Amino acid sequence: MGSSACSSVIIIGAGISGISAAKVLAENGVDDLVILEASDRIGGRIRKEDFGGLPVEIGAGWVAGVGGKVSNPVWELANKSGLRTCFSDYSNARYNIYDQSGNIFPSGLAADSYNKAVNSAIQELKNQEAKLHGTSTISEPPSSPETPIELAIDFVLHDFEMAEVEPISTYTEYGDQEFLVADERGYEFLLYKMAETFLFTSEGKIADSRLQLNKVVREIQYSRNGVTVKTEDGCVYQANYVILSASVGVLQSDLISFRPPLPKWKTEAIMKCEVMVYTKIFLKFPYKFWPCGPDKEFFLYAHERRGYYTFWQHMENAYPGSNILVVTLTNEESKRVESQTDEETMKEAMAVLRDMFGPDVPEATQILIPRWWNNRFQRGSYSNYPILSSRQDFVDIKASVGRVFFTGEHTSERFSGYVHGGYLSGIETSESLLEEMRRVDDDKEKGGKSMESQTFLLEPLLALTESLTLTQKEAVSDLHKWDMARQLFLNGKLVVQEAIK
């Protein structure tokens, strides 16, 4: 087994949360850190690929939450780096819903279907509330979408608007605009800019041994004396603390084992969080055959199977002359497509396009299908908290366990699921760790018995029971998230109604 020198902190994962966490530590004098990243690059779920001669974002594509009173920190980073972005105007999607014969639905019908979907969601929320509080009997079951247009709108409402965790915070705090990144350096350029402030770079590349790529962490041992991290290639790393930024999908899988095992409250919080799969499929054509112009950027396909190649976008606003279309699938459809060959998927997508635009549509020359679900370093696209999650779930998922600190978009109470959630969570986690380090130093100086050592004396017992926290968990009420869920819903309602009317 190879071994490596002891560091103060090991950071697992070089996505935006891992890099922002490392930057805060380095700025505060903790520069004997090491970042272990499983893949061969930094960025995680922010990832550009070359496709048809252009950079396309197969992971995060938008800076969401722009134009409000408070500035989104990721939008500030994008502006500082001069990242090229395009405003996305979803409001015209209402005029662009195609049936299977290529006819566009009248916008009035779309508005009716939308109202039906909203009313059904309100009913569902009321029923859930009644069930939760046991206050009244459930009045009527929510109506289900039936027709292809109702299914298409239900899909957009639930899998895009409602499924995004806490748009209430992102859109009310930062504004309701979204900007698509269309820059040849990619969204990931923001991470390089951040990394170069504390890691050595040479010719635009990170050349610093504190960033170790292709290091798949398989085991984390933690005790009162420190942490030992083992990687798949047999290396062993030791440190005082570890910050773990792997996605919640990875935490739910068996990729990383913990010694002692994580306590029950922690594993329960991890398992409660749902994972969304969101797949952008890119198709390159020899020429354009779809209507162009800014008001045609987004269009929907109405099919009797919910989520079947429903949501389309042309790339002409971002890259004029690119002849690229993107279709977005989610969850079960994403998993289905991930498990079949690219040729099969191409055939399905081409049949849908010929339904919408006629039999003369030319064959795509290239297709790109990211597989986030089957990627063992991701296991999904982003976290999605069930609508009635309690605040305690968030507290538990981000709480540290002994010397193991947790970070990543899933630990952001207000912005989970977003790039800015990952960015801010990295900062918050490092700030908590720095506080802990200062406290331990103070205790040492005082010569007294530190709180920490008292806590670690209990460790074997806690590991045995797997039921208590090794850190101080806040006791919080259940009300908070529920209130937010209702506001989220109202917010989603306003946003999409606006788009459909």
Cα(65)–Cα(72) distance, integer angstroms:
7
Q: Using the rule CB under 6 A, is 46 a contact of ligand FAD?
A: yes
Task: Output the six-digit token pair for 231.
Answer: 């990687």
Among 125, 130, 235, 255, binds ligand FAD (CB under 6 A): 255
Q: Using the rule CB under 6 A, is 160 a contact of ligand FAD?
A: no
**x-or-dash string of contact with ligand FAD, 193-232, rule CB under 6 A:** ----------------------xxx---------------
Q: Using the rule CB under 6 A, is 16 a contact of ligand FAD?
A: yes
Query: Minimum distance from CB of 183 to ligand FAD (Å)?
Result: 14
Cα(286)–Cα(130) distance, integer angstroms:
55
Query: Minimum distance from CB of 490 to ligand FAD (Å)?
Result: 22
SS (H, E, C) 8-21: EEEEECCCHHHHHH
Angle at CA of residue 334, ends 294 and 312, nearest 5°: 15
DSSP string, 174-233: H-SEEEEE--TT-TTHHHHHHHTTTS-EETTEE--TTEE-S--EEEEEEETTEEEEEETT
Per-residue buried b or exposed e for 294-309, using 16+ beta carbons within 10 Å of the residue's own CB:
eebbbbbbbbeebbbb
DSSP state letter for 104: B
Q: Using the rule CB under 6 A, is 249 a contact of ligand FAD?
A: no
Burial-class residue 111 by CB neighbours within 10 Å (0-12, 13-18, 19+): middle
Q: Using the rule CB under 6 A, is 97 a contact of ligand FAD?
A: no
Cα(382)–Cα(380) distance, integer angstroms:
6
Q: Which is nearer to ligand FAD, 140 or 254 (CB)?
A: 254
Instruction: Tell me the window of 61-69, 136-144, 235-243, 458-466 that interacts with ligand FAD (CB under 6 A).
Output: 61-69
Q: Can you tell me which residue has the tokens 């922690």?
A: 266
Q: Which is nearer to ligand FAD, 14 or 56 (CB)?
A: 14
Q: Using the rule CB under 6 A, is 307 a contact of ligand FAD?
A: no
Q: Which is nearer to ligand FAD, 110 or 256 (CB)?
A: 256
Among 22, 26, 38, 163, binds ligand FAD (CB under 6 A): 38
Q: How many residues does the chain have?
A: 501
Q: Using the rule CB under 6 A, is 186 a contact of ligand FAD?
A: no
- Cα dihedral value 195, 201, 206, 210, nearest 10: -80
Q: Using the rule CB under 6 A, is 313 a contact of ligand FAD?
A: no
Q: Using the rule CB under 6 A, is 60 a contact of ligand FAD?
A: yes
Query: Minimum distance from CB of 382 to ligand FAD (Å)?
Result: 4
Query: Minimum distance from CB of 137 to ligand FAD (Å)?
Result: 39
Q: Using the rule CB under 6 A, is 256 a contact of ligand FAD?
A: yes
The answer to whether 300 and 311 are in contact (CB under 8 A) is yes
Q: Name every residue whose Cβ is closer than 8 Å to that of residue 309 and which is 6 or more positions away in sequence.
A: 301, 303, 327, 329, 348, 349, 352
Instruction: Tell me the window of 121-129, 248-256, 300-308, 488-496 that interacts with ligand FAD (CB under 6 A).
Output: 248-256
Q: Which 369-398 residues touch ligand FAD, going by CB under 6 A?
A: 372, 377-378, 381-382
Q: Name every residue whose Cβ is closer than 8 Å to that of residue 336 and which is 6 or more positions away in sequence.
A: none
User: Residue count at the site for ligand FAD (CB under 6 A)?
Assistant: 42
Cα(271)–Cα(280) distance, integer angstroms:
26
- Cα dihedral value 372, 373, 376, 377, nearest 10: 40
Instruction: Tell me the window of 11-19, 110-118, 285-293, 440-448 that interacts with ligand FAD (CB under 6 A).
Output: 11-19
Q: Using the rule CB under 6 A, is 14 a contact of ligand FAD?
A: yes
Q: Using the rule CB under 6 A, is 419 a contact of ligand FAD?
A: yes
Q: Give the SS3 label for residue 397.
A: helix
Among 189, 301, 394, 418, binds ligand FAD (CB under 6 A): 418
Nearest in space to 311 (alpha carbons), one of 441, 454, 155, 176: 155
Sort strands 97-98 and 298-301 into parallel, antiparallel or unpaired: parallel
Q: Which is nearer to ligand FAD, 39 or 120 (CB)?
A: 39
Instruction: Tell me the window of 34-42, 296-304, 442-450, 478-486 that interacts with ligand FAD (CB under 6 A).
Output: 34-42
Q: Using the rule CB under 6 A, is 283 a contact of ligand FAD?
A: no
> Would you say 217 is a known binding-site residue?
yes
Among 26, 30, 34, 36, binds ligand FAD (CB under 6 A): 36
Binding site feature residues: 17, 37-38, 217
Catalog residues that contact ligand FAD under the rule CB under 6 A. Answer: 12-18, 36-39, 44-46, 59-62, 64, 215-217, 245-247, 250, 255-256, 278, 280, 372, 377-378, 381-382, 408-409, 417-419, 421-422
